[in-house]
């Protein structure tokens, strides 16, 4: 059962837009939270789907999660945290402010917003919190360890939140999409067999939400790939160009 309204935090992203369409197709009321012209997205979604949709301004780094939730005027039945920032590893390593943006966008901000959500949602029938983490958080790699470490922290946070609310009825799900063809990955050479489309990710999340899964890889083959990567001995791992 999907509890409505569904609040999508980071709704202007490609995955956020696909999720909005998917939940609207399920007959859910959808609250789109994001930056820019998010109101136009909500109007378009309502016209195309016939679902009730509205927009609210949201910035995951603004540091005011309680004020944000108080302003909604409703307790969400479902909250999906999609917000994140890939950033550039070389820039993050060289510039503290760049590293802070990546960490705040992928761990500090998302964790604080979901803590604020959980404070309000405990006891909501079929309530669910969904966090979009990353396979990059499963092992620190030289090519993206600032982003990866922030996602590793977020994965651990979601696990802890899930266990903390195991007896309250609030379900918490962790999503690890792997490569997704989005604006964030534009220009990157992505292996087709390991790359999902935003719609595929949204479909997998909604199906897993209905099944109340704990952790999903939106392409199942990533589970095996990451098991292999985690098993590589550290002396050998340091010699690899990953």
Which residues make beta-bridge pairs with 126? none
Active site residue 147: yes
Q: Half-sphere exposure of residue 45, counting CA atoms within 13 Å on the CB side?
A: 29
Catalytic residue among 23, 113, 147, 217: 147
Per-residue burial over 36-49, b = 16 or more CB atoms within 10 Å of its CB, e = otherwise = eebeebbeebeeeb
Residue 180 burial (CB count, 10 A): 22
Residue whose pair of structure tokens reads 């292999």 in the numeric block: 228
Helices (H), the chain: 14-25, 38-49, 65-72, 89-94, 96-103, 109-121, 145-164, 198-211, 221-231, 234-237
CB of 105 closer than 8 Å to CB of 62: no
Report CA 149 to chain centroid distance, whole Å. 15
> Which positions are annotated as active-site residues?
147
């Amino acid at each position: 059962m999907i509890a409505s309204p569904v609040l999508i935090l980071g709704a202007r992203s490609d995955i956020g837009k696909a999720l909005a369409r998917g939940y609207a197709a399920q007959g859910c009321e959808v609250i789109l939270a994001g930056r820019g012209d998010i109101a136009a997205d909500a109007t378009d979604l309502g016209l195309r789907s016939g679902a009730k949709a509205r927009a609210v301004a949201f910035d995951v780094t603004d540091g005011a999660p309680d004020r944000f939730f108080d302003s909604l005027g409703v307790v969400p039945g479902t909250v999906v945290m999609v917000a994140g920032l890939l950033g550039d590893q070389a820039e993050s390593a060289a510039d503290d402010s760049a590293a802070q943006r990546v960490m705040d966008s992928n761990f500090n901000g998302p964790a604080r917003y979901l803590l604020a959500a959980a404070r309000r949602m405990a006891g909501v029938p079929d309530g669910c919190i969904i966090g979009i983490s990353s396979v990059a958080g499963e092992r620190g790699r030289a090519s993206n360890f600032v982003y990866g470490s922030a996602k590793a922290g977020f994965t651990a946070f979601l696990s802890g939140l899930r266990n903390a609310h195991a007896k309250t009825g609030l379900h918490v799900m962790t999503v690890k999409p792997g490569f997704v063809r989005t604006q964030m990955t534009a220009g990157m050479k992505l292996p087709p067999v390991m790359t999902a489309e935003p719609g595929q990710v949204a479909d997998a999340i909604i199906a897993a939400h209905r099944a109340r899964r704990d952790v999903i890889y939106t392409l199942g083959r990533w589970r095996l790939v990451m098991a292999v990567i985690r098993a590589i001995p550290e002396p050998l791992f340091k010699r690899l160009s990953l």
